Structure 1
Amino acid sequence: MVLIGVFSLLFALQHINALPVIDAPWGVVEGITNVTEDWTPYHAFLGIPFAVPPTGSRRFKQPQPHPGFDHTFKAYKYGPACLQALNLIGRSSVTGSEDCLTLNVFTPATITDTSNIPVIVWIHGGGFIIGDSFTYNPSSIVANGQVIVVTIQYRLGPLGFLSTKDHVSAGNYGLWDQHLALQWVKKNIASFGGNINSITLMGESAGSASVAFQALYSGSKGLFQRTIMQSGSASSSWAYTRNPLIYARQLAHKVNCSSQSDSASMIACLRTVSAKKLTAASWPMGNEPVTALAEFYFVPTIDGVFVKDDPLKLVNSQTYLKQVGLQNLDCMVSVVSNEGGLLKSLAKAADNLFHSSLSSSVQNNRFYRNTFIPKILQLYFGASSSDMSQAVGKVYDPSQSHTVNLQAVMNNLGDAGMVAPATLFARAHAKLSSSLKTGKKTYMYVFDHIPSFVIGHGKGMDHGEDLMYTFGLSKAYLDAMAKASPNTITDPDQSEKKLAHTLMGLLTDFSRHGDPNNAVQYGLQQSWPQFSEPGEHYLLLNTTMSVGSKPYKDRVTLWTQTLPRLLQAAQNQHHTTKNPHPNIVG
């Protein structure tokens, strides 16, 4: 064993001595060689600009492709994060740069430009307002799975998503950034040893919603062949806004640009404001704590081009899905067992911002039913009614006691934000590919596991915690978590590491074959069926593993069948009555 370790070290050191150089259509790129925590070498090409800096007159416009350089680009370090205000998570500071549109390519050290191996493009989450590419080190996935991973950055908050709801500033610039990065990958990744016909688009939370938005855009045809969506979809309650102009004007007022009456003058004024000042003023908007809990303001919007219509309508339209070619993709979606666990940190941040008591208020029955539920319904459907609110209360809080169980409130938030939208997307994809007999596959898994190395962890896995396993329980990632929350993280045991290895395996197997079964066959001891009607089977991912049917059936039925039916009934009554219906809010 000692000799094997010595040989591994010598092999790694031999690779580190030579800097990898790639001659791509974009230009010549020189990277670095590093080693994983188990001394497996890999190449990294960091901070490659794929777009011209979106600064000055280019602010609030679609990105333009970077032309490359006529000299060797030294891709030795990450580019800066895109500008973001961190007071969402309790810290009132702005970090990052407006010039941030870069990507990073990670490859196994053994491949050449003729290797032709699968590619995964990773889109980070963060509610479209925070996040970066360099938090995620995919070296374990790259080295163990023998795939290439590309991590990308895109504009966030108002710089990425401010919209005047007209041609002046249509919004969705962050989505266009992602799209341009995908075009860069398609044109250049073969030079790094990647297979341009085996590209998987993958993301978590807002990254997952971004994957859905890219898949629902007709211009994406051919840019990727598979999608992996972890905890989010285009129809998630927080993933798009119906009121972009309201927030654009509120922001303009905050930075003294509100005297401009028309969109063009307002945007011209906003271009003169420093990017940091704009970002700092963008959170929070308004003074309602419950709004800060459930809505992120500067997020994707319906522009008629990238986002053709209400995402809920698009996902439910088989005609539209066929038009954009969703049936030509393999699709895997996932959720964690306590998606709504995010509520605890969001409520705490809102309380800090507004000096409120939202953390406890959400458990007050009157507040929950009269304020919280209508707000979530308004975000998800664009309308609410008393019948809809009663239906939600009946599922999550049937006892109607004075105090609502916190887990019930978390489930309510998590289902509207993640569980129902993910299931709806998987259902739509499975139905389409089945009816057209394309042979493309749909899989779903629910990650239901309590991380044993997180001290004092509650029930289930909270939103975002699956990222620890996705990236192999890397020491750097866990150290960062421990630094953010001291005395909460211990060393993972072998069962935890095995679970992370299983997850990385099923992700890379799916990216390679469109089928994740090989990675779970020994632990599962049966096949993992595709997600399709009528069984809608999914993998329950934990240290034991099993196959289930119809995830969170009653709760998902509420959001996908009961509430749409009640909304339609309320709208029909509204349209056939002379006076506006008193119980519907549109």
Structure 2
Amino acid sequence: MQLTEEDILKIAMEHPMVRFGVTMDGQFIPKPVVELLQSHEFNKVPLITGITDDEWGYVMPNFFSPPGWTDGMDMEQILPFLTMFNPTLQDQLVAELVLNEYLGTSPDRTKIRDGFREIMGDFMFNIPARKLANYHRDAGAPVYVYEFQHPPSILQKKRPSFVGSDHTDEIAFVFGSCFADGHIKLKEELSEEENELCRTVMAYWGNFARTGSPNGPGLTEWPEFGAEAEYLSIGLEQKPGKDLKGKHFTFMTQTLPQIIKEWKEGPVVQTKLGSLRGAFLTVKGKDTIVNSYLGVPFAKPPVGPLRLVRPQPAEKWDGVRDATKQPPMCIQDRQSSVIELLFLAMDVEIPEVSEDCLYLNIYTPVKPGEDAKLPVMVWIHGGGLSLGSASVYDGSVLSAYHDVVVVLIQYRLGLLGFFSTGDEHAPGNYGLLDQVAALQWVQENIHSFGGDPGSVTIFGESAGGISVSTLILSPLASGLFHRAIAESGTAFWDGLVMGNPLLRAQNAAKLCNCDSSSSSKIVDCIMRWSEEEVLECSNQFAMMHFSLAVDSYFLPKPVEEIVKKQEFSKVPLITGITNDEYGFLLPSYFAGKGWIDGVDKDQAIKDLTLTYPDPRDRWIVDQVANEYLGDTSDPIQIRDIYREMMGDVMFNIPTIQLAKYHRASGAPVYLYEFQHPPSMIQKNRPSFVGVDHADELFFIQGTCFAKAHLKATAPFTKEEEELCRTVMAYWGNFAHTGSPNGPGLTHWPEYEDEAEYLGIGLEQKAGKNLKGKHYAFMTKTLPDLIRQSREKRERSEL
């Protein structure tokens, strides 16, 4: 009460965007406005109400639009103004639905500008006027609705041509300004037609003041607002109409509230095990609504006596299970997952870790109860068999763009997923058996989500690609999938399968203070550990330390024997690599500090032991190092050759081996090299890095268009958005038909005698003989040397 008039005026001038409105004070407005209207607790008097045909035409946007708005606007510019006047648009779903209703997906800035003006006019004036008319009519009072359609000529010539009859344009005619000669005068005379409009409007308003009806002699009949929402268009000619702003009125007052209600409730689907309540998701560039179901159990929690045991079928549950939250990650170093996401420039909340982690996430464009049989794509995450989760991926975009059901699965990792003593006490491969259990769950339940169990594609990257190619080899997975995509990882990596599981188990036991005298005692010790102790022990081992085991069950024979006898699932296959697999992410883990400035030979050779860990195989490491490094001594040259060598050993050569063996079985194979690094990541890397390990993931899962929990920390370029569409189209076509090719895409040749492949980047280009330089040495010369050495070793042991 101490502010002066000048103070108040100054505050108002300094803060023009601060709005003051009517409040429910218990006296003047005793209840919420909607409640008063719905209960008809108002004065039921005759009413005229109406609008102009361009309420947010020029005056209002000049106050509440960014500079230069008349030339066009974009989506980012209009959202702050929309939410200012309609707080419900702060909800992402509501905003997306409204924008789609008015603007569609057009990028045209002038169309966005005009759509924004229409939205604001409807929000602020048009829809409220219709609502008032409805409530008043339903209370039994006579109502007359109008739309004013003539802009005063003296104003219109000063406005942009796209402006119609703006906010307040009718005032000059209501008050007869055409004929005023007092303190308010028009600067220019109106036309004779406009003078007649003045007479007409004043007659309507005057008649209403006298009789409660605007109608009278010489006037076009103004229909009362009734069941058909009749109104009068007022302009140089008057014309009755019906259902003013009807399309958007129905959307805003019926369709949108119903969608919001359903959205908040979420979709509910019935499975064999029980009901699930999920959530709705939208993506950029598509109208499709995706139903997501998160944290769906596919096996019993592998805890207590089920630790280091094959997965058991999930149990039924009562009621409706909440499926709107990400499941906990399997036991792993959570901080390492955070660091990896920072490397990949992703913004996502990392869940907590838990041994109870055998869950999957489902994304489907099919509504509950709809009869559909869409292809299913089951994603197996990477992370060196030690890290990763379903929650750091998003299947919504691929699902929406290519009409597929996407399933993201989790599996036990590290010690709990791949520990083995090589005998009945701990056969190993538990993480892979979890994957089989998830695929079995898909076969039994995916029809409830609109998926076709007879059309399942498994796909994965890095350790996920290894998993995919290993599932191809396992008799347990036969018939559970029908197509496969192995990205940057296959079962042909020499360091994948443990040569002596018991020796590794004993080493682990000693490091973790367990009795290592027998398999049973080692396992008994691990079974007693807490989750914290499991994690503490696991952290003492490098990534991939716990690997696959030949267990006579999941992997009944060595990989080489299975593929040579072609005892595997001969399904269509996509496999490929990036052009710099060991570019930045992996050497940042393994190469030690300062590697960017150069690497010495000792470090390069040390990292090769990841592939050949048996001390007796040190000579193999020397052979590979000599093939690549030769007599090179320059640290920069060694750094780059080291990166090429590790990329070849771990990813490139094994991928081409998979392609060759699979093609030899008669199954169609498509090979790729990914050749474009995401711009938002590349700018933070050294200039010598090409397309790094995992770079393709942004494009395969359509991160460019994601709106769910997983987002990139910087925008993609328009060219990269097109690459997203292209890559998803190849992958989506493959899931539908077994071939990646389709209309509008560069033809992807099948991998045949000339080792054809597709270079995938901002432009796609077919090529031949990928990574041919060292392939002969790694697949012919070196294996012959290894075989001769091991035969000699076996003879000497005898």
* Other structure's SS at 1:559 match: helix
* Other structure's SS at 1:405 match: helix
Report how far residue 570 of structure 1 moved: 3.1
Bigger mean CA offset, 303-312 vs 412-421: 303-312
Check whether the contact 1:133–1:152 (CA below 8 A) recurs between aligned residues.
yes
* Other structure's SS at 2:655 match: helix
What is the CA–CA distance in structure 2 between the aligned matches of 1:50 and 1:362, rounded to whole Å? 47
**The one of 403, 409, 419 aligned to 1:152:** 409
- Are positions 1:498 and 2:731 aligned together? no
Q: Which residue of 1 aligns with 2:497?
A: 240
- Are positions 1:553 and 2:553 aligned together? no
Q: Which residue of 2 aligns with 1:271?
A: 527
What is the CA–CA distance in structure 2 between the aligned matches of 1:89 and 1:148, rounded to whole Å? 26
Report how far residue 239 of structure 1 moved: 3.3
Q: Which residue of 1 aligns with 2:690?
A: 460
Report how far residue 425 of structure 1 moved: 1.0
For the structure 1 residues 241 and 14, does the alpha-carbon distance in structure 2 shift closer, same or farther, using more than 3 Å as the test? Answer: farther
Q: Which residue of 1 aligns with 2:517?
A: 261
Q: Which residue of 1 aligns with 2:290?
A: 42
Normalising by structure 2, report the TM-score.
Answer: 0.62
Report how far residue 389 of structure 1 moved: 4.9
* Other structure's SS at 1:378 match: coil
Check whether the contact 1:255–1:273 (CA below 8 A) recurs between aligned residues.
no
**The one of 352, 359, 371 aligned to 2:595:** 359
Q: Which residue of 2 aligns with 1:288?
A: none
What is the CA–CA distance in structure 2 between the aligned matches of 1:501 and 1:476, rounded to whole Å? 12
Report how far residue 28 of structure 1 moved: 2.2
Amino acid at match of 1:121: V
Amino acid at match of 2:578: V
Amino acid at match of 1:430: R
Q: Which residue of 2 aligns with 1:507?
A: 731
Q: Which residue of 1 aligns with 2:700?
A: 470
What is the CA–CA distance in structure 1 between the aligned matches of 2:709 and 2:291, rounded to whole Å? 23
What is the CA–CA distance in structure 1 between the aligned matches of 2:676 and 2:729, rounded to whole Å? 17
Check whether the contact 1:362–1:368 (CA below 8 A) recurs between aligned residues.
no
5+ residue gaps, structure 2 = 1-73, 76-97, 106-250, 341-349
What is the CA–CA distance in structure 2 between the aligned matches of 1:34 and 1:311, rounded to whole Å? 41
Check whether the contact 2:677–2:695 (CA below 8 A) recurs between aligned residues.
no
Amino acid at match of 2:599: Q
Bigger mean CA offset, 417-426 vs 558-567: 558-567
Q: Which residue of 2 aligns with 1:485?
A: none
What is the CA–CA distance in structure 1 between the aligned matches of 2:741 and 2:454, rounded to whole Å? 21
What is the CA–CA distance in structure 2 between the aligned matches of 1:559 and 1:48, rounded to whole Å? 43
Equivalent residue runs for 1:10-25 within 5 Å = 15=259, 17-18=261-262, 19-25=266-272
For the structure 1 residues 13 and 229, does the alpha-carbon distance in structure 2 shift closer, same or farther, using more than 3 Å as the test? Answer: farther
For the structure 1 residues 336 and 414, does the alpha-carbon distance in structure 2 shift closer, same or farther, using more than 3 Å as the test? Answer: same
What is the CA–CA distance in structure 2 between the aligned matches of 1:251 and 1:53, rounded to whole Å? 24
- The Cα offsets for residues 433-485 of structure 1, whole Å up to 9 and x where unpaired, read as 1xxxxxx4211111011322321443321001111111112477999787xxx
- The Cα offsets for residues 75-127 of structure 1, whole Å up to 9 and x where unpaired, read as 22122111102465797999500111111111015585421110000111101
**The one of 562, 567, 577 aligned to 1:335:** 577
Pairwise CA RMSD of aligned residues? 3.1
- The Cα offsets for residues 218-254 of structure 1, whole Å up to 9 and x where unpaired, read as 1212111000111101122453333433333333334
- Are positions 1:531 and 2:787 aligned together? no
Amino acid at match of 1:123: I
Report how far residue 554 of structure 1 moved: 1.4
- The Cα offsets for residues 295-342 of structure 1, whole Å up to 9 and x where unpaired, read as 521222221211223324433x1x2x3x33x22x11110111111123
Amino acid at match of 1:65: P
* Other structure's SS at 1:335 match: strand
Q: Which residue of 1 aligns with 2:421?
A: 164
Q: Which residue of 2 aligns with 1:202?
A: 459
Check whether the contact 2:278–2:293 (CA below 8 A) recurs between aligned residues.
yes
Report how far residue 154 of structure 1 moved: 0.7
Report how far residue 579 of structure 1 moved: 9.5
For the structure 1 residues 343 and 44, does the alpha-carbon distance in structure 2 shift closer, same or farther, using more than 3 Å as the test? Answer: closer
For the structure 1 residues 362 and 248, does the alpha-carbon distance in structure 2 shift closer, same or farther, using more than 3 Å as the test? Answer: farther
Q: Which residue of 1 aligns with 2:540?
A: 284
For the structure 1 residues 50 and 537, does the alpha-carbon distance in structure 2 shift closer, same or farther, using more than 3 Å as the test? Answer: same
What is the CA–CA distance in structure 1 between the aligned matches of 2:598 and 2:337, rounded to whole Å? 19
Check whether the contact 1:237–1:376 (CA below 8 A) recurs between aligned residues.
no
Bigger mean CA offset, 264-273 vs 171-180: 264-273
Report 1 or 2 for greater relative contact order, CA contacts < 8 Å, sequence distance ≥ 6: 1
- The Cα offsets for residues 546-581 of structure 1, whole Å up to 9 and x where unpaired, read as 1011111012222222211222233455566x699x
For the structure 1 residues 28 and 477, does the alpha-carbon distance in structure 2 shift closer, same or farther, using more than 3 Å as the test? Answer: closer
Check whether the contact 1:84–1:94 (CA below 8 A) recurs between aligned residues.
no
What is the CA–CA distance in structure 2 between the aligned matches of 1:565 and 1:12, rounded to whole Å? 69
Amino acid at match of 2:297: P
Q: Which residue of 1 aligns with 2:70?
A: none
Equivalent residue runs for 1:101-180 within 5 Å = 101-109=358-366, 112-180=369-437
Equivalent residue runs for 1:21-100 within 5 Å = 21-38=268-285, 40-86=288-334, 95-100=352-357
Amino acid at match of 1:307: L
What is the CA–CA distance in structure 2 between the aligned matches of 1:367 and 1:141, rounded to whole Å? 41
* Other structure's SS at 2:612 match: helix
* Other structure's SS at 1:271 match: helix
Larger of the two Rg values belongs to structure: 2
For the structure 1 residues 56 and 21, does the alpha-carbon distance in structure 2 shift closer, same or farther, using more than 3 Å as the test? Answer: same
Check whether the contact 2:366–2:450 (CA below 8 A) recurs between aligned residues.
no
What is the CA–CA distance in structure 1 between the aligned matches of 2:450 and 2:735, rounded to whole Å? 15
Equivalent residue runs for 1:423-502 within 5 Å = 423-433=656-666, 440-454=667-681, 455-457=683-685, 458=687, 459-474=689-704, 490-502=714-726
Equivalent residue runs for 1:292-441 within 5 Å = 292=542, 296-315=544-563, 317=564, 319=565, 321=566, 323-324=567-568, 326-327=569-570, 329-341=571-583, 342-347=585-590, 351=592, 359=595, 363-369=599-605, 371-373=606-608, 375=609, 378-379=612-613, 384=617, 386=619, 388-389=620-621, 391-403=623-635, 404-433=637-666, 440-441=667-668
What is the CA–CA distance in structure 1 between the aligned matches of 2:707 and 2:775, rounded to whole Å? 33
Normalising by structure 1, report the TM-score.
Answer: 0.84
What is the CA–CA distance in structure 2 between the aligned matches of 1:52 and 1:548, rounded to whole Å? 47
What is the CA–CA distance in structure 2 between the aligned matches of 1:579 and 1:190, rounded to whole Å? 56
Bigger mean CA offset, 335-344 vs 224-233: 335-344
- The Cα offsets for residues 348-371 of structure 1, whole Å up to 9 and x where unpaired, read as 6xx4xxxxx5837982235545x4
What is the CA–CA distance in structure 2 between the aligned matches of 1:253 and 1:361, rounded to whole Å? 37
Check whether the contact 1:241–1:297 (CA below 8 A) recurs between aligned residues.
no
What is the CA–CA distance in structure 2 between the aligned matches of 1:86 and 1:309, rounded to whole Å? 34
Report how far residue 426 of structure 1 moved: 1.2
Amino acid at match of 1:505: A
What is the CA–CA distance in structure 2 between the aligned matches of 1:453 and 1:70, rounded to whole Å? 46
Aligned sequence identity (%) = 30
Check whether the contact 1:523–1:544 (CA below 8 A) recurs between aligned residues.
no
- The number of equivalent residue pairs is 536
For the structure 1 residues 383 and 304, does the alpha-carbon distance in structure 2 shift closer, same or farther, using more than 3 Å as the test? Answer: farther
Report how far residue 74 of structure 1 moved: 2.4
* Other structure's SS at 1:401 match: coil
Bigger mean CA offset, 392-401 vs 210-219: 392-401
For the structure 1 residues 51 and 284, does the alpha-carbon distance in structure 2 shift closer, same or farther, using more than 3 Å as the test? Answer: same
Check whether the contact 1:122–1:150 (CA below 8 A) recurs between aligned residues.
yes
